[in-house]
Amino acid sequence: MAEMLTDLLQNIYNRISQLGKTIQELKTSLDGLNKSIEDKVSTLNKKLNEFSNEIALTQTKHIEVLKKIGTSATDEIEKIKDRTGLTSIKKLTNELENFSKLSEEILNQETVEMLLSEAISTVKYIKKQQLGIIEKEAEKK
């Protein structure tokens, strides 16, 4: 019976550990996605800055046209941010980090030892009860 409880606790611990690992992998994946999106937006912003520098140098009639293009591009970037859900991804990342921290707190050595101690105490108590019942039945015979 103790082995069954030990196996059960070990399985629970393994599943919680796997969940923590999966969450960490998801966080890593989301971080990579965020980095990729930020890199693309950053590259686009750099290109817009390069266009702005060319405009400042040429000082031609094309300035008005390029400003309109820059404004449209900025609006499109904002639309892309809204459509790709960067804000939602950041919020999800923060929530996953909080969940990861909570998981780490739950899986710390003290908590695991406390759970194992409670399980062992329960097994001992159940064994004593069973032995008490067996002894009472032997006395009746």
Residues 7-12 have a mean pLDDT of: 90
Per-residue pLDDT reduced to its tens digit, 46-93: 998 988 887 777 776 666 777 888 888 888 887 777 777 666 777 878
Write out the DSSP string of 32-50: HHHHHHHHHHHHHHHHHHH
Helix (H, G, I), strand (E, B) or coil at 1: coil
Per-residue pLDDT reduced to its tens digit, 130-139: 887 655 555 5
- The helix (H) or strand (E) run that includes residue 61 is none
Instruction: Write down the pTM of the prediction.
Output: 0.33
For the cut 70, the answer to whether the pLDDT of residue 126 exceeds it is yes
Domain-by-domain residue ranges, the chain?
Answer: 2-107, 108-141
User: Tell me, what's the pLDDT at 21?
Assistant: 94
Give me the long-range contacts of 44-52 (CB less than 8 A, separation at least 24): 44/73, 44/77, 45/77, 48/73, 48/74
* Average pLDDT taken over every residue of the chain: 82
For the cut 80, the answer to whether the pLDDT of residue 97 exceeds it is yes
User: Tell me, what's the pLDDT at 4?
Assistant: 86
**Among 41, 46, 26, 23, which Cα is nearest to 84's?**
41
Residues 20-25 have a mean pLDDT of: 93
Give me the long-range contacts of 110-119 (CB less than 8 A, separation at least 24): 112/13, 115/9, 116/9, 119/5, 119/6, 119/9
User: Tell me, what's the pLDDT at 2?
Assistant: 80
**How far, in whole angstroms, is CA 12 from its chain's centroid?**
20
